[in-house]
Amino acid sequence: MNTKELTAKSFELRRVVLDMIYRTKTGHIGGDFSVMDILVTLYYRQMHVGPELVSDPNRDRFILSKGHSVEALYAVLSDRGFFPETDLLTYSQFGSKYIGHPNNKVSGIEMNSGSLGHGLSLSVGMALAAKMDGAPYRVYTVMGDGELAEGSVWEGAMAAGHYHLENLTAFVDRNRLQISGGTEQVMAQDNLDARWSAFGWNVLHAAGNDVAALDAAVEQAKACKGKPTVILADTIKGYGVSFIENQAGWHHRVPTEEEYQKAAAELGERMVNAQ
């Protein structure tokens, strides 16, 4: 897929997310829309993954550490053929495995997540295992910027630097909002370059809702030797729908019918304009 097609895909899949959340009246729409371009870049361009590879020991590993954005991941996995699209109709229904946070009963999901702060350490373990085994796979994870307030993130960062895990790439979805307001008010994060560098990481910046910029950053990460890479991805929470963008309240809000119609129309327009 070229850049235009990937961008269009990101809006198409945001629409899938919107429908899931509107239908069931639950979900984390702001974080889903924020992270979608990172997921699309990884799953359609960069990662060695696919439904035929779920048991392949050399598949790349992905962990959605900010697990509340699972609706975005479900939309991508379904579109990539990991499970039928009709499974999405069971999202958040009693008895369904498609629950509100990632779990590894779902095809393509490596690890349960949702309790923030654990994905990086698990990714470190997987990347270290690959190095010890001489295996070629790479490990990717996405954290929220609010998530960085969890102390366990920095234990993982320390270990990744110590073990020189060049096969590990972490993204920070830097949308400047968390559940209850701005990250700078709740727990300031503005010296991220210095922090990650101090832990021995290669630090990159990318426009986080731009698939071409994200793709280029991942290429740079792959070329870096002797250090793990963090990509500080400048995103907009709620990206793609004007009235959802940049509003802390849309972390977990469900659209009314009127809002749903408006959001669907905007996403449709963005999709057409991207092509």
Ligand X SMILES: Cc1ncc(C[n+]2csc(CCOP(=O)(O)OP(=O)(O)O)c2C)c(N)n1
Binds 116: which of Mg ion, ligand X, none (CB < 5-8 Å by kind): ligand X
In whole angstroms, the minimum distance from the beta carbon of 32 to ligand X comes to: 8
Q: If you count DSSP H runs as helices and E runs as strands, how many of each does the chain have, helices first?
A: 9, 7
Measured CA to CA, the distance from residue 214 to residue 67 in angstroms comes to: 20
Q: Which of residues 92-111 bind Mg ion (CB under 5 A)?
A: none
Q: Which of 16, 24, 141 is nearest to 75 (CA)?
A: 16
Q: Which of residues 229-268 bind ligand X (CB under 6 A)?
A: 237, 251
Lay out the sheet containing 139-144: strands in order across.
61-64, 139-144, 168-174, 229-234, 202-207
**Which residue lies nearer to Mg ion by CB, 167 or 178?**
178
Measured CA to CA, the distance from residue 155 to residue 136 in angstroms comes to: 25
Measured CA to CA, the distance from residue 129 to residue 108 in angstroms comes to: 19
Site for ligand X (CB under 6 A): which residue of 27, 102, 108, 117?
117
Binds 66: which of Mg ion, ligand X, none (CB < 5-8 Å by kind): ligand X
In whole angstroms, the minimum distance from the beta carbon of 152 to ligand X comes to: 9
Site for ligand X (CB under 6 A): which residue of 9, 15, 59, 68?
68
Measured CA to CA, the distance from residue 93 to residue 105 in angstroms comes to: 15
Binds 102: which of Mg ion, ligand X, none (CB < 5-8 Å by kind): none
**Which residue lies nearer to ligand X by CB, 7 or 178?**
178
E strands present in the chain: 61-64, 139-144, 168-174, 177-178, 181-182, 202-207, 229-234
In whole angstroms, the minimum distance from the beta carbon of 164 to Mg ion comes to: 29
Query: From the CB of residue 58, how many other CB atoms can be counted at a distance below 10 Å?
Result: 11
For residue 190, the 8-state DSSP code is T
Measured CA to CA, the distance from residue 217 to residue 226 in angstroms comes to: 17
Q: Which of residues 139-198 bind Mg ion (CB under 5 A)?
A: 144-146, 175, 177-178
Q: Which of residues 82-111 bind ligand X (CB under 6 A)?
A: none
In whole angstroms, the minimum distance from the beta carbon of 209 to ligand X comes to: 12
Using the rule CB under 6 A, is 144 a contact of ligand X? yes
Q: How many residues bind ligand X (CB under 6 A)?
A: 20
AA identity, residue 78: S
Specify the DSSP element, H or E, that contains 3: helix 3-24
At 176, list the tokens: 């400047």
Using the rule CB under 6 A, is 12 a contact of ligand X? no
Using the rule CB under 6 A, is 27 a contact of ligand X? no
In whole angstroms, the minimum distance from the beta carbon of 146 to Mg ion comes to: 5
Per CB under 5 A, residues contacting Mg ion are: 144-146, 175, 177-178
Per CB under 6 A, residues contacting ligand X are: 30-31, 34, 66, 68, 114-117, 144-147, 173, 175, 177-179, 237, 251
